[in-house]
């Protein structure tokens, strides 16, 4: 089913932003507006559009959920919950308040973190904290061949070490800023500040600013 | 204690990455509700974390999409905001609706109830007993949705002796099943169908089936499944019994 009108008109103006993105900028923007349009159709109960949304964002949802939760079976469950939530709440998406990708990924990450924090016994958490390896490996692991990943890697590299570790431990591992602070041996106030600074720099480097 | 505005701003990064405790999250969201500037910053930072998330993309496990598509087909969608109603303070409201744990939980509850309703429609059950069951079943509706979307969910159906067909969706990882039946013989008002779990863990009454409507009964959740359980159905007195006293009309090896 063609994505004709619903929710369209977003994202196309962002193709040329940033630098060093030749060859992928227009793809990204095209995909972004397409996703928003598809979600508009999903809101009307269009199963074919939901299928298309799945194809586009499903792997990202599963990837981020699995990165936080680790356990493959639980990650599958949470991925299903997230995508069913997208189906149910598609009408609540408003393209004027952010991209469709951000809308879905926010839901995915929140659900993953909530799952980890609700089921994980404290001692397990402590053990994992103690066993945490160098967070930069998280990124290296995440970064394979795609240009998108290369871009993320480059932007993460532009951060200071504490900024980068704060972001990777919080986002990819699902740790609270307090846990990140104890892992890094840095005061919590510093971690909070670094997290915000890091995301501002990433936003600007990635060229996704509004 | 309320955080100062400056503190709240500092929390933006941790908030966007869900790196804050639940009480911190609530405090921050109260602040966010009255701070347009913060809402804009949060929205822009979320575009950055979305790219971080996309960089972690992995191929979907086999069958996952099909399971969600099947569950979606049985799940009622939330209606959009009513354009005819005033929409105060719309900026960033989707963010807050996502971010507000209380509302999220409420929405999930309502939607699973909706899923039960959809299931009822799928199986052709209408109002009356279903409505009453829905009212009673706020908690179990969540469980029903969990069973239907479990990745190991399997569906079986078979005949009920005395007439009718039972359909069961079961998830081992959820230790639960959803039971529905079609075309059960009507019983006198003094009698009712009672569902049982029978196995090494003992005989446990699941409960009375609600009165059928248009030949359709359920859905009913049976949780706490144990290894070696059977699902059984008997016709008992309408008040129910602690142990089955009548012949098994259905005995499914789970």
Average pLDDT in chain A: 79
- Looking at the complex, does the CB of residue A9 fall below 8 Å from at least one CB of chain B? no
Least confident stretch, A36-50, A98-112, B203-217, B231-245: B203-217
Q: Is there a contact between A171 and B17 (Cβ–Cβ < 8 Å)?
A: yes
Q: Which residue of B has its CA nearest to A102?
A: B50
Question: At residue B31, does pLDDT exceed 50?
Answer: yes
Residue B42 confidence (pLDDT): 95
Is residue A21 reached through a cis peptide bond, with omega within 30 degrees of 0 on the bond before it? no
pLDDT of residue A128: 54
Q: In this complex, is the C-beta atom of A48 within 8 Å of any C-beta atom belonging to chain B?
A: no
Residues of B in contact with A114 (CB under 8 A): 18, 101
CB contact under 8 Å between B14 and A77, yes or no, is no
Q: Which residues in chain B have Cβ-Cβ distances shorter than 8 Å to A151?
A: 51
> From the CB of residue A150, how many other CB atoms can be counted at a distance below 10 Å?
15
Residue A73 has pLDDT above 50, yes or no: yes
Residue of B79 and A118 predicted with greater confidence: B79
Q: Does A99 touch chain B (CB under 8 A)?
A: yes
Check CB contact under 8 Å for B71 and A80.
Answer: yes
Question: Which residues are within 8 A (CB) of B93 and not within 5 positions of it... i.e. 6 or more apart?
Answer: A94, A97, B87
From the list B17, B43, B67, the residue facing A98 with the nearest CB is B43
pLDDT computed for residue B166 by the predictor: 82
User: Which residue shows structure tokens 């079986």?
Assistant: B156
Kindly indicate the confidence band of residue A183, based on its pLDDT and cuts at 50, 70 and 90. very high
Which tens digits make up the pLDDT trace of A145-172? 467 788 899 999 999 999 999 999 999 9
Tens-place pLDDT, residues B35-76: 888 899 999 999 999 999 999 999 999 999 999 999 988 888
In this complex, the residue of B14, B44, B64 whose CB is nearest that of residue A192 is B14
Is B105 part of the contact surface with chain A (CB cutoff 8 Å)?
no
Mean pLDDT estimate for chain B: 75
Contact A105 B10 (CB under 8 A): no
Q: Is A47 exposed, middle or buried (0-12, 13-18, 19+ CB in 10 A)?
A: middle
A119 touches chain B (CB under 8 A): no
Does A12 or A171 have the greater pLDDT score?
A171
Q: What is the value of pTM for the model shown? A: 0.57
CB nearest B19 (choices: A45, A85, A176) = A176
Query: Thinking of the domain A20-157, which architecture would CATH place it in?
Result: Orthogonal Bundle (1.10)
User: Least CB-CB distance to A98: which of B46, B55, B149?
Assistant: B46
Pairing of strands B165-171, B250-253: unpaired
Confidence of residue A44 (pLDDT cuts 50, 70, 90): very high
Percentage of chain B surpassing pLDDT 70?
A: 71
Q: Is pLDDT of B94 > 50?
A: no
Q: In the prediction, which pLDDT does B223 show?
A: 87
Residues in chain B within 8 Å Cβ distance of A167: 17, 52
Q: Please count the other Cβ atoms lying within 10 Å of the Cβ belonging to residue B124.
A: 12
Question: pLDDT value at position A14?
Answer: 38
Of B18, B60, B111, the CB nearest to A59: B60
Confidence of residue A119 (pLDDT cuts 50, 70, 90): low
Query: In angstroms, how far apart are the furthest CA atoms of chain A?
Result: 53
pLDDT at A122: 46
- Which residue from B19, B55, B107 is facing A177, i.e. has the nearest CB? B19
Ordered DSSP codes for A115-148: HHHHH--HHHHHHHHHH---THHHHHHH--S-HH
**B187 burial level (CB within 10 Å; 0-12, 13-18, 19+):** middle
Q: Which residues of B touch A77 (CB under 8 A)?
A: 149-151
Q: What percent of chain B lies above the pLDDT cut of 90?
A: 17
pLDDT of residue A69: 92
Place B89 in a pLDDT band, splitting at 50, 70 and 90.
Answer: very low
Q: Are B31 and B8 in contact (CB under 8 A)?
A: yes
pLDDT value at position A120? Answer: 57
Angstrom CA distances, B57 to A144, B20, B36, B52, stand at 10, 24, 32, 9
* Residues 6 or more apart in contact with residue B134 via CB below 8 angstroms: B113, B116, B117, B141
Whole-number Å distance between alpha carbons of A157 and A152: 8
Please answer whether residues A181 and B20 qualify as being in contact, where contact means their C-beta atoms are separated by less than 8 angstroms: no
User: pLDDT-based confidence at B6, cuts 50/70/90?
Assistant: low
Per-residue b/e over A137-148, b at no fewer than 16 CB within 10 Å? Answer: ebbeebbeeeeb
| Interface check A100 vs B, CB under 8 A | no
Q: Do B10 and A88 touch (CB under 8 A)?
A: no
**Closest C-alpha among B7, B48, B50, B29 to residue B95:** B29
CA-to-CA distance for B38 and B15, rounded, in angstroms?
Answer: 11
Interface test with B, best of A75, A84, A108, A149 (most B CBs within 10 A): A84
pLDDT at A40: 94
Res. B159: pLDDT tops 90 = no
Nearest CA in chain A to B71: A84
Instruction: Decide: B98 and A97 in contact? Cβ < 8 Å.
Output: no
Which of helix, strand or coil describes residue A62?
helix
Helix, strand, coil % (nearest 5) of chain A? 75, 0, 25
**pLDDT at residue number A170:** 96
Best B36, B46, B100 member to test A by mutation, with max A CBs in 10 Å, is B46
Greater confidence, B113 or B91? B113
pLDDT for A143 equals 42
Q: Which residue, among B17, B32, B113, would best test binding to A if mutated, counting the most A CBs under 10 Å from its CB?
A: B17
pLDDT at A186 > cutoff 50: yes
- Contact of A150 with chain B, judged by CB distance below 8 Å, is answered with no
- Cβ contacts of A65-69, under 8 Å, gap ≥ 24: A65/A108, A65/A109, A65/A111, A65/A112, A66/B56, A66/B58, A67/A112, A67/A138, A67/A142, A67/A172, A67/A173, A67/B56, A68/A109, A68/A112, A68/A113, A68/A116, A68/A172, A68/A173, A68/A174, A69/A112, A69/A115, A69/A116, A69/A174
Q: How would residue A90 be classed by pLDDT, with cut points 50, 70 and 90?
A: very high
Question: What residues does B233 pair with on adjacent strands?
Answer: B195, B250
State residue B113's pLDDT score.
Answer: 47
For the ranges A3-12, A29-38, A181-190, the lowest mean pLDDT is seen at A3-12
Q: Which two tokens stand for residue A58?
A: 């499903």
Pairing state between β B154-159 and B165-171:
antiparallel
Task: Test A202 with B52 for CB contact under 8 angstroms.
Answer: yes
Q: Tell me: the pLDDT tens digits for B176-213?
A: 888 888 788 888 888 889 999 998 888 889 988 887 76
Higher pLDDT, A115 or B211: A115
CB neighbourhood size of B80 (10 A): 14
B window 150-179, beta carbon within 8 A of A: 150-151, 173
pLDDT band at B154 (very low <50, low <70, confident <90, very high): confident
**Confidence band, pLDDT 50/70/90 cuts, at residue B4:** low
Tokens of A164: 């980068």
Question: What is each CA distance from B69 to B59, B117, B196, B243, in whole angstroms?
Answer: 17, 17, 31, 40
Q: Is the ipTM of this complex over 0.90?
A: no
Residues contacting B112, CB < 8 A, separation 6+: B141, B142, B144, B145
pLDDT in tens, B105-128: 333 344 444 454 444 444 444 444
Q: What is the mean pLDDT of residues A14-24?
A: 36
Distance CA B244, CA B234 (A): 7
Where do the structural domains in chain A lie, given as residue ranges? 20-157
Confidence of residue A5 (pLDDT cuts 50, 70, 90): very low
CA proximity to B193, closest of B217, B214, B209, B212 = B209
Q: Pick B91 or B236 by higher pLDDT.
A: B236
């Amino acid at each position: 089913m063609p994505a004709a009108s619903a929710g369209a008109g977003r994202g196309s103006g962002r193709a040329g932003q940033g630098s060093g993105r030749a060859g992928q900028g227009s793809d990204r923007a095209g995909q972004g507006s397409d996703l928003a349009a598809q979600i508009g159709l999903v809101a009307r109960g269009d199963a074919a559009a939901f299928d298309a949304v799945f194809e586009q964002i499903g792997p990202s949802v599963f990837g981020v959920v699995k990165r936080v939760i680790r356990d493959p079976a639980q990650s599958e469950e949470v991925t299903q919950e997230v995508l069913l939530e997208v189906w149910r709440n598609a009408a609540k998406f408003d393209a004027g308040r952010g991209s469709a990708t951000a809308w879905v990924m926010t839901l995915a990450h929140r659900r993953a973190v909530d799952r980890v924090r609700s089921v994980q016994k404290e001692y397990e958490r402590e053990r994992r904290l103690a066993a945490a390896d160098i967070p930069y490996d998280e990124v290296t692991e995440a970064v394979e061949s795609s240009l998108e990943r290369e871009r993320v890697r480059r932007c993460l590299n532009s951060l200071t070490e504490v900024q980068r570790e704060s972001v990777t431990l919080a986002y990819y591992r699902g740790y609270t800023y307090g846990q990140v602070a104890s892992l890094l041996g840095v005061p919590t106030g510093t971690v909070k500040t670094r997290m915000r600074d890091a995301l501002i720099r990433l936003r600007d480097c990635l060229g996704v600013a509004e | 204690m309320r955080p100062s505005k400056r503190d709240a701003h500092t929390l933006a990064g941790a908030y966007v990455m869900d790196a804050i405790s639940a009480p911190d999250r609530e405090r921050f969201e109260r602040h966010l509700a009255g701070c347009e500037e913060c809402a804009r910053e949060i929205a822009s930072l979320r575009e950055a974390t979305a790219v971080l998330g996309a960089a972690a993309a992995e191929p979907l496990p086999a069958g996952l999409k099909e399971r969600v598509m099947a569950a979606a087909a049985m799940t009622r969608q939330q209606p959009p905001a009513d354009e005819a109603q005033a929409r105060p303070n719309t900026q960033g409201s989707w963010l807050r609706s996502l971010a507000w744990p209380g509302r999220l939980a409420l929405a999930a509850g309502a939607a699973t109830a909706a899923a039960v309703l959809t299931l009822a429609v799928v199986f052709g059950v209408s109002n009356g007993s279903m409505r009453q069951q829905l009212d009673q079943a706020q908690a179990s509706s969540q469980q029903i949705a969990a069973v239907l979307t479990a990745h190991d969910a399997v569906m079986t159906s078979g005949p009920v002796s005395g007439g009718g067909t039972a359909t069961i969706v079961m998830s081992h990882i959820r230790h639960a099943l959803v039971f529905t039946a079609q075309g059960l013989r009507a019983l006198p008002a003094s009698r009712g169908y009672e569902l049982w779990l029978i196995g090494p863990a003992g005989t446990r009454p699941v409960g009375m089936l609600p009165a059928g409507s248009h030949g359709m009964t359920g859905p009913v959740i049976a949780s706490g499944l144990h290894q070696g359980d059977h699902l059984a159905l008997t016709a008992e007195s309408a008040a129910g019994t602690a142990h089955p006293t009548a012949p098994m009309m259905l005995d499914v090896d789970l």
